[in-house]
Amino acid sequence: MPKRLSRAFFKRSVHAVAPDLIGATLLVNGVGGRIVEVEAYHHTDPAAHSFRGATARNAVMFGPPGFAYVYRSYGIHWCLNFVCEPKGSASAVLIRAIEPTAGLALMRRRRGVSDVRLLCSGPGRVCEALGVTGAHNGLALDAAPFQIFAHAEPVDIVAGPRIGITKAADKPWRYGLKRSRFVSKPFRLSPVTPT
């Protein structure tokens, strides 16, 4: 049985936690799969919700690490984040894509699509498939309904610019599982030198 991630796992720099989450398994009420894409947001980052200080929406980001920050995106979708670093640093990892492994039938029903590659390939899709809503905002990640397990095997990680932002768009703070077919958009891999 894989090791369940402790709350201490999140009490580190968001730039250390984010790549470490690639390959981990995220379940919500037993439904979910392998995390294949995340993005890091730090409070000194102009693209982060916490950059301009605490509001009612982002209050959880300013609390202790190891909790879920769920916000509404474009007034329509939900997006799931894991709060990182010591309390008050207001940093979080956005869960952008999952390779579905558990609860496929329920995810298909919630999403209204059958293609497994369309179930969790995007932050809004992840929340819809796993049933994450604003009701999960502020819940601890080491307790029900969440289960997060470390990956057993080593994984190859790639990084690149984050998606859908205009501020600090050059920062390579999007992390993914190399060659995964379940990411929301392909990562640009390093060019192979012709032989």
Q: Please report, as ranges, the residues that interact with DNA according to CB under 7 A.
A: 39, 41, 47-50, 52-53, 55-57, 61, 69, 71-77, 79, 81, 92, 94, 111, 113, 118, 122-126, 162-167, 184
Closer by beta carbon to DNA, 5 or else 120: 120
Closer by beta carbon to DNA, 74 or else 170: 74
* Residue 140 C-beta: closest distance to DNA, Å: 18
Q: What are phi and psi of 21, to 5 degrees?
A: -80, -20
Closer by beta carbon to DNA, 167 or else 178: 167
DSSP state of 51: G
Closer by beta carbon to DNA, 125 or else 195: 125
Within 8 A by CB and 6+ apart from 12, the residues are 84, 85
How far apart are alpha carbons 106 and 109 in whole angstroms? 5
Matching residue, tokens 């859908």 = 164
* Residue 91 C-beta: closest distance to DNA, Å: 9
Q: Residue 63 has which token pair?
A: 């609390």
How far apart are alpha carbons 192 and 31 in whole angstroms? 38
How far apart are alpha carbons 158 and 147 in whole angstroms? 25
* Residue 37 C-beta: closest distance to DNA, Å: 10
Sign of CA dihedral 79, 20, 23, 186: positive
* Residue 1 C-beta: closest distance to DNA, Å: 30
* Residue 94 C-beta: closest distance to DNA, Å: 3
* Residue 194 C-beta: closest distance to DNA, Å: 28
Closest by Cα among 24, 22, 72 to 49: 72
Closer by beta carbon to DNA, 20 or else 128: 128
End-to-end CA distance of the chain: 43
How far apart are alpha carbons 153 and 3 in whole angstroms? 12
Closer by beta carbon to DNA, 25 or else 81: 81
